[in-house]
Amino acid sequence: MKRNPYLTNIDICSGCGTCISLCKNKALKIELNSERGVYYPKVDISKCDDCSFCQKICPVSDGNIIKLSEKIFGRKITDILVGNILGCYTGYSTSQRIRYESASGGLITQLLIFALERKLIDGALVTKMKEGSPLRTESFIARTKDEILEASKSKYCPTPANVALIEILKRNGKYAVVGLPCHIRGIRRAELHNRELRERIVLHLGLFCHHTPNFWATEILLKRMNIKSDDVVKLDYRGGGWPGFMNIKLKNGRNVSIDLQSYWRFLGLDFFISRGCLLCTDCLNELADISFGDAWLPEFSKDNMGTSMIVVRSNIGMKILKNAEFEGYIKLSKINVKKVIQSQLDTLYLKKKVTPAYINLSRKKIRYDNTLDPEVLEYFLAIFRALNNQIFMKRAFMKCLIKVPTWALHAYYLVPNFIIHKEASKLLMRL
């Protein structure tokens, strides 16, 4: 039997879960890869008829993001770094509780509650930390305000959210979906081939993304803090104001907190990035109706309540956002697109210039159309990231990281990070 490229190049998978829900033969299931600490689909050969539908809907298999964006939104893209734009804003929930306990401003949580209460949707595909397995996530269809609140905050670990699409296909109604760029791209590609999915999903809310750390990132971080994974009862990656804290509740009743900027300096290392993330060129969730992220700008550095950066891309996204503002659910302030770029500048540089260099070096057949041409320094950074991924992303090396001093890890990244900051600044100056 001829095997399609999707099944033979599974190492580039983003672990989004789209193919699991849409496979007509139910030949795929999601499994944790014990070596890399990420989710990959596993095929049941006895059920697979090699129809290649999984490849058609895979977010990694086709690099024509601009072409897909123009088809979805009905117009040419506005900016190569940002994608299609109807408007850019900063904003936050008018609920102090939601704003304080969310990742940044509570906009997604509040908009979902608004859409549910106004009967614009019957439910929303969201993700929460799994009860009984506090280091894993669980994606589900939230149908009440309390369920939406339960799914607030960011999750910095692998999440095959689109596995829950099967629940949308089982039951009539109107739904919102919340996801990372790979999730939203997988959904948009699936909607091209599945009319029911296209008609039932009325709102796509997307998160800005640098990358998703693998499972070893959090587990090793806990060990570096002398915390056993089995002793963790509950773990939240964000909350408690902005930029927030990782809050860990232990079996003995003790609560441990570590601020975002401290723990992300470890979770954000290249050692924990999957190949699927290394191939991604989308930082700002370019196919979502509305995209959201942290407002990493000097003017918000003392904003301990949290403010979201917002990019509106579709008419339905703009209508819901403005109606929520009119009814007092949220507060908005219009900003220039340059502010959005500035707030995510280093990540945009990596995605738009370093990633295409990595793809060229890896000789993958995928060629994304939403990137800029890489130069010599981008190839140096791509080689650095490739070495980290190929050599160091092994479980044996992961265990060694428990003992490596923080100063040594930062020293290792000193030169690459300097280059990234410097070249990213040049990118902003050219706008």
Question: Which residues does 302 contact at the CB level (< 8 Å), separation at least 6?
Answer: none
User: Does pLDDT of 8 surpass 60?
Assistant: no
User: Taking 80 as the threshold, does the pLDDT of residue 7 lie above it?
Assistant: no
Identify the residue with better confidence: 2 or 82: 82
pTM of this prediction? 0.95
User: Does 325 map to a domain?
Assistant: no
pLDDT at 431 (0 to 100): 63
The residue to which tokens 């290792």 are assigned:
412
Domain membership of residue 373 as a residue range:
344-429
User: What mean pLDDT, rounded, does the chain reach?
Assistant: 93
> Cα separation of 139 and 142, whole Å?
9
Mean pLDDT of 348-369: 90
Residue 413 located in a structural domain: yes
Q: What does each C-alpha distance from 363 to 24, 203, 286, 357 come to in angstroms? A: 31, 36, 25, 10
Q: What is the pLDDT of residues 237-292, one digit of tens each?
A: 999 999 999 999 999 999 999 999 999 999 999 889 988 899 999 999 999 999 99
Residue 38 lies in a domain: no
Q: At what angle do helices 315-326 and 107-117 cross, to 10 degrees?
A: 90
- Of 55, 42, 46, the closest CA to residue 4 belongs to 55
- pLDDT > 70? residue 1: no
pLDDT digits (tens, 9 = 90+) for 293-336: 999 999 999 999 999 999 999 999 999 999 999 999 999 999 99
Q: Is residue 56 domain-resident?
A: no
pLDDT of residue 430: 65
Distance CA 420, CA 183 (A): 27
In a domain, 275, yes or no: no
Q: What are the residues whose beta carbons fall under 8 Å from the beta carbon of 13, sequence distance 6 or more?
A: 38, 39, 40, 41, 58, 60, 276
Q: Could you give the CA distance from residue 315 to residue 331 in angstroms, rounded to a whole number?
A: 19
* pLDDT confidence of residue 262: 92
Residue 21 belongs to some domain of the structure = no
CB atoms within 10 A of CB 207: 22
Distances in whole angstroms, Cα of residue 15 to Cα of each of 141, 213, 223? 19, 12, 25
Whether residue 224 has pLDDT greater than 90: yes
Model confidence at 31: pLDDT above 60: yes
Are 167 and 153 contacting, i.e. CB atoms less than 8 angstroms apart?
no
Phi, psi of 132 (to 5 degrees): 90, -20
Report the pLDDT value the prediction gives residue 362, as an integer from 0 to 100: 85
Whether 399 has a pLDDT exceeding 50, the answer reads yes
Q: Which residue has the tokens 């942290």?
A: 294
Residue 390 within any structural domain of the chain: yes
Specify the pLDDT at position 2. 42
**pLDDT confidence of residue 6:** 46
In a domain, 351, yes or no: yes
Angle formed at CA 81 by CA 334 and CA 86, multiple of 5 degrees: 35
Q: Which of 175-189, 273-287, 394-408 has the lowest mean pLDDT?
A: 394-408
Lowest-confidence segment of 42-46, 86-90, 338-342 by average pLDDT: 42-46
How many domains does the chain fold into? 1
Query: What is the distance between the alpha carbons of residues 117 and 192, in angstroms, rounded to a whole number?
Result: 29
